[in-house]
Structure 1
Amino acid sequence: MPLLRSRNIARWFIDPFSGQERSYWRAITACFLAASTFWLLNALNKVYTTRITYPLEWRYDARRYVPVQPLPREVAVNVTGRGWKLLRRSLMLDVRPAEIQLERLPSTRFVAAQQMRPSLLAAMEGLQLNYVLTDTIFVEFDRLVTRRLPLMLSPTADGAALPFVARFEPDSISFRGPSQVIARLSSPYLVHLPQAPAGSSSGSIRVPIGGPRLVTTNVQDVRVRLQPRPLVSQVISVMPALHNFPVGQPYTIRPVMLRVEVQSFAEDTPRLDMKQVRALLDFGQLRPADSTLQPLLMPTQPPVRGARLLTPLVRVSLAKHPARP
């Protein structure tokens, strides 16, 4: 029974529309659109009180000061107005931002709601400002300064000098930005060399110039010409490590210390660790004809750029055991 009753009710609604021509449905659609339009127009003519965000436009001397933190573009307010005005604000149609004038920079640190109210009242056309929901807007400004710095290639990650010298074109760059940020820039300014293809040290490459946030430069990149750097040499004495020498057999070696020439870049010389320069004497390589050994130089690591043995041979003398009675 309940199912039959539901079916009858549905048929009562559907039967008037069944079998109608297309013109009938066009008329129904037109009536529906007309009713919706009148309803919307009536709703937009009513007065509403609501919360909206209103755009702001900040006024200050941009030639002398720069905001350290981004300035807010909108402020939350409570307003009363007709639906037409609120719709225009939502769609950003012909909305004049409220101009906030900032004085006494860079000492000004905040803008209170009472300071924003006159600007909001002047900008809002057709809207009544009830109150500003944002109590305080905090701002931070700094003076704009310009500083010119020479350029230098950034050292390697371990602080070792690079194997080439760089020539920059131009050789210095002007940085402009907040005074506190500019003051912290190193002089000379370090340029990071990108991963360069093999053989690029004989030519030139273009390197982009980075910088901190809010800092601009007078050029976007510089041309870098890389040239091999000269090495400085020093001679040290090294005690060789002995390998495979006979146990219990007295012997002497001449000379005891080996002379080694070590090469490095000039600025790396103070941080050289001479303990990493090592040599080896292997008794298994002894030449019976003249009782000499050729020293072997162990591999070195940067900042040592090269090492060469200046002692080509070492003479080994074995003492004879006294005859037993």
Structure 2
Amino acid sequence: MSLLNVRHMARWFVRPFVGQERSYWRAVTACFLAASTFWMLNALNKVYTTRIAYPVVWRYDARKYIPVQPLPPEVAVNVTARGWKLLRKNLKLDVRPAEIVLGRLPGTKFLPGTALRPALMGAMEGMQLNYVLTDTIFVEFDRLVTRRLPLMLSPSADGTALPFLAQFSPESISFRGPSRVVSRLSSPYLVHLPQAPAGSSSGSIRVPIGGPKLVTTDVQDVHIRLQPRPLVNRVVSVMPELHNFPIGQAYTIRPVRMLVEVQSFREDTARLDLAQVRVLLDYGQLHAADSTLQPLLTPTKSPIRGARLLTPVVHVSLTSPKK
């Protein structure tokens, strides 16, 4: 069809509506609304067979058991009903959910679709249940238990102790949830600081209490008062590393080994890596007047919190090689 023919057709269709008054358009609109209303009423009065998702509620002893996996809020069914009833169901107007009673928990692991039929038929009003489309519903429950645990400040991300002593208020918390989850909680329960307090290492903060999924606590957060904690001192003997000493020249140093005082927290003493405590002797820094060298202590890393060289100077004596 040519473009010209299309234009003639469009003009023929639009011509009756051109130049009409506003009252004409109101009448046309009213006719359309009336026709649509009669069509919808006629359609809603018909009987349909269709698939819908019908709401269900689960009845069990919530004081003793808890679902480990979410229970489905609806089941798929095939029903026959008038359009009015299906419309009310889709709009969730005055729909009574089917009550599914669960017994023999936590041993019950699944429900066949046929077991849901009596509850669905009893809940449906004005609808005929043809069959349940959901073949099997799998459920998983565990015993609901409560366990009270003391609190302790969690160590750093690398496992080292924090430089604080913590006083908790309250000192312990009750955890309530599935037995398999609650029984695995550590005792004492570790509380993580959101960030290291700025400024002084003592102060008071409130920290939210986290927990595993499905586990609730009797308090939402705890009050923590932080105080500086004492360090444990340990003296170690280190063989110094020699740098820039003359090659072929015999010499003696006194003392031979350096004493270094290492500081750490008591929890970290068992995991100290003393190999990182290193002392250097640089011959280029020799004081010619008294033939002494000042030892240099290299920086250390956590869990060592501090290190101090107890050997202030080393005496170096050059000796003539034996002939």
> Common fold, TM-score beyond 0.5?
yes
One-letter code of the match for 2:253? I
The change in CA–CA distance for 1:75 and 1:318 in structure 2 (over 3 A counts) is: same
- Equivalent in the alignment of 2:88: 88
- Does the CA contact (< 8 Å) of 1:200 and 1:226 recur in 2? no
Tell me, in whole angstroms, the C-alpha distance in 1 between the residues paired with 2:23 and 2:279.
106
> C-alpha separation between the residues in 1 aligned to 2:261 and 2:227?
24
Aligned-residue offset at 1:5: 6.6
Corresponding residue number in structure 2 for 1:71: 71
Deviations 1:260-312 (A, max 9, x none): 11111112112112111111112122222222212111111111111112222
SS of the residue corresponding to residue 125 of structure 2 reads: coil
Q: Post-superposition shift, 1:119? A: 0.6
* 1:143 partner letter: R
What is the rounded CA distance, in whole Å, between the counterparts of 1:136 and 1:5 in structure 2?
62
CA distance in 2, matches of 1:230, 1:170: 24
- Which position in structure 2 is the counterpart of 1:20? 20
Q: Is the Cα–Cα contact under 8 Å of residues 150 and 188 in structure 1 kept in the other structure?
A: yes
Structure 1 residues without counterparts, runs of 5 or longer: none
**3-state DSSP of counterpart to 1:224:** strand
Alignment partners' CA distance in 2, 1:21 and 1:238:
107
Greater Cα shift, 49-58 or 17-26: 17-26
Aligned equivalents of 1:79 and 1:120: distance in 2? Answer: 11
1:246 corresponds to: 246
Secondary structure of the residue aligned to 1:57 is strand
Q: Which residue of 1 aligns with 2:152?
A: 152
Query: How far does the alpha carbon of each residue in 1:4-50 deviate from its partner, in whole angstroms, 9 at most, with x for none?
Result: 77666555544444443322222222222112111111111111100
The offset of 1:196, in angstroms, is 3.5
Identity %: 77
Cα distance between partner residues in 2 of 1:95 and 1:261: 78
Alignment check: 8 A CA contact 1:236 1:259 kept: yes
Task: Look up the match of 1:107.
Answer: 107
Matched AA of 2:70 = P
Shift of the 250–4 alpha-carbon distance from structure 1 to 2, 3 Å rule, reads: closer
User: Which letter does structure 2 place at the counterpart of 1:252?
Assistant: T
CA distance in 1, matches of 2:218, 2:210: 12
Q: Take 2:246 and 2:157, find their aligned partners in 1: how far apart are those partners? A: 45
Aligned 1:293-312 pairs, distance under 5 A:
293-312=293-312
**Match for residue 282 of structure 1?**
282
Q: State yes or no: 1:264 paired with 2:264.
A: yes
CA gap 1:79/1:237 in 2 versus in 1, 3 angstroms: same
Q: What amino acid does structure 2 have at the position aligned with 1:246?
A: P
Does the aligned pair in 1 maintain the 2:164–2:202 contact within 8 Å? no
Post-superposition shift, 1:169?
0.9
Say how many residue pairs are matched.
323
User: CA 1:142 to 1:2, structure 2 compared with 1: closer, same or farther past 3 Å?
Assistant: closer
Q: Distance in 1 between matches of 2:83 and 2:63?
A: 41
1:40 match: 40
Distance 2:15 2:223 in 1: 84
The separation in 2 between residues aligned to 1:87 and 1:214, in whole angstroms, is 36
Shift of 1:103: 0.8
Q: TM-score if structure 1 supplies the norm length?
A: 0.94
Q: Which residue does the alignment assign to 1:31?
A: 31
Contact (CA 8 Å) 2:206, 2:221: kept in 1 or not? Answer: yes
Query: Residues 4 and 149 of structure 1: is their aligned pair in 2 closer, same or farther, counting only changes over 3 Å?
Result: closer
Identify unmatched segments of 5+ residues in structure 2. none
Which residue of structure 2 lines up, in the alignment, with residue 234 of structure 1?
234
- Alignment RMSD (CA, Å): 1.9
Are the counterparts in 1 of residues 51 and 76 from structure 2 also a CA contact under 8 Å?
yes
Question: AA paired with 1:238?
Answer: V
